[in-house]
Amino acid sequence: MERAVARIDLGALRANCERLRAELGGVRLCAVVKANAYGHGAVECARAAVEGGAGALAVATAAEMAELVEAGVAGGAGTSGGTGAGTPGEAPELITLGALTAEEVDVALGAGSAVAVWTEGFRRLVAARARALGVTARIHVKYDTGMGRLGTLDLGEAVTVARSTAADRDLELAGVWTHFATADRPDDEGYFDRQLDRFGGLVEWTRAEFPAVTVHAANSAAVFRSPRSHFDMARCGVALYGLDPFQGDPAARGLAPVLSLRSYVAAVKRFPAGQSAGYGRRWKAPVDTWVGVVPLGYGDGVRRALSNDCEVLVAGRRHPLVGTISMDYLTIDLGPETEVEPGAEAVLIGRQGEEEIRAEEIAARLETINYEVTTALLPRVPRRAA
């Protein structure tokens, strides 16, 4: 056993791509691999997504895009990118979705990535950098229909930026897009539909003026919530990794979890009643029991807030995590009688025998979302293809 390892099932990722493509029909799938592919390992996951038929890859930062290109996943200066639904193995379009400094614009354009623009000032900056680099920059104009982050809130400004982009010889108008604030909340009192309706104004204009331009809005939740949101492309992140965008059971949507987090029992100790485990003595054995020590902690991304509020799979059974999680270790109560010996596998996320602990369960205990659970795993935990 390794001290700690995140096993990445790339076959499950490819299957999730196929599941999403089936949901989308002929609409292109954009695989979102930002934040190290939500903690799963960006390079290998990007490759698997393309093999699974993703027609585009999206990240948040220029450095993330440069990593993909340097690893040979796709891209390079002058890359035009695909525009079809995605054929397994076909070179994908590359899109950097986030805010960029002037220096980061150079990195993104040098990687052959499209970039997001929503003001005339930034459009002119991108055009100048494209001209200096000798490339044509592909632009996706962002319209803020209610997310309240990047993008113009003004439909007229979005139209103006799109028109001036199309008229600029250093630029190519490649897309118009928006992002949903409440797609994962069916009880949002109609906010999702109001965003869709608002985006419809830009979609109608784009279809009339530039029918070849890609229109995209849907995230993972929107893909399952409403076909009306699919347009020409859907940007899927969390569902790609077999995590449920609605924080339920991913299997109910035909998705298979990609990541499992595994360690081992490094020591098994007999605790008399009253013996404490961990900093602050936040747990004391209520009766004579056996305690297992697992070399995994918040230095690996296992949140300290799970102290005394989690379970770990050992020998196919759930065992309560007891005591305070430290930087390098956590402890589990193996019970008054146990056959567990040092070296036994310990699973924090994943399946062992008939039992399974999903990221959604961990997220519920932390009162957060499954995205944060996997993204929080730190570099000290190696990612290994399963």
286/268 Cα distance (integer angstroms): 17
Q: Which of 38, 191, 279, 284 is catalytic?
A: 279
Q: Can you give the C-alpha Rg of the chain in angstroms?
A: 23
Q: What is the location of CATH 2.40.37.10 in the chain?
A: 259-385
Q: Is 34 a catalytic residue?
A: yes
Do 350 and 265 touch, CB atoms closer than 8 A? no
Measured N-to-C along each axis, helices 102-110 and 120-133 cross at an angle, to the nearest 10 degrees, of: 50
The reported pLDDT for the residue numbered 87 is 63
Burial 158-181 (b: 16+ CB within 10 A, else e): bbbbbebbeebebbbbbbbbbbbb
251/246 Cα distance (integer angstroms): 12
The reported pLDDT for the residue numbered 386 is 87
Q: Which amino acid is at 60?
A: A
166/189 Cα distance (integer angstroms): 37
The reported pLDDT for the residue numbered 80 is 46
Non-local (6+) Cβ contacts of 154 within 8 A are: none
* CATH for the stretch 259-385: 2.40.37.10
258/9 Cα distance (integer angstroms): 5
Render each residue's pLDDT in the chain as its tens digit; 386 residues: 799 999 999 999 999 999 999 999 999 999 999 999 999 999 999 999 999 999 999 999 999 999 999 999 976 654 444 444 556 556 899 999 999 999 999 999 999 999 999 999 999 999 999 999 999 999 999 999 999 999 999 999 999 999 999 999 999 999 999 999 999 999 999 999 999 999 999 999 999 999 999 999 999 999 999 999 999 999 999 999 999 999 999 999 999 999 999 999 999 999 999 999 999 999 999 999 999 999 999 999 999 999 999 999 999 999 999 999 999 999 999 999 999 999 999 999 999 999 999 999 999 999 999 999 999 999 999 999 98
- Superfamily in which the 10-243 domain is placed by CATH: Alanine racemase (3.20.20.10)
Q: What is the location of CATH 3.20.20.10 in the chain?
A: 10-243
> If we measure between CA atoms, which residue out of 386, 269, 385, 379 comes closest to residue 39?
379
Q: Which of 34, 142, 264, 329 is catalytic?
A: 34
What does DSSP assign to residue 112? T
Q: Is 284 a catalytic residue?
A: no
The reported pLDDT for the residue numbered 89 is 56
158/215 Cα distance (integer angstroms): 13
- Cα separations in angstroms, 359 against 1, 99, 134, 159: 22, 29, 45, 41
- Cα separations in angstroms, 176 against 71, 115, 305, 316, 317: 28, 11, 41, 49, 50
Q: Which amino acid is at 290?
A: W
The reported pLDDT for the residue numbered 91 is 81
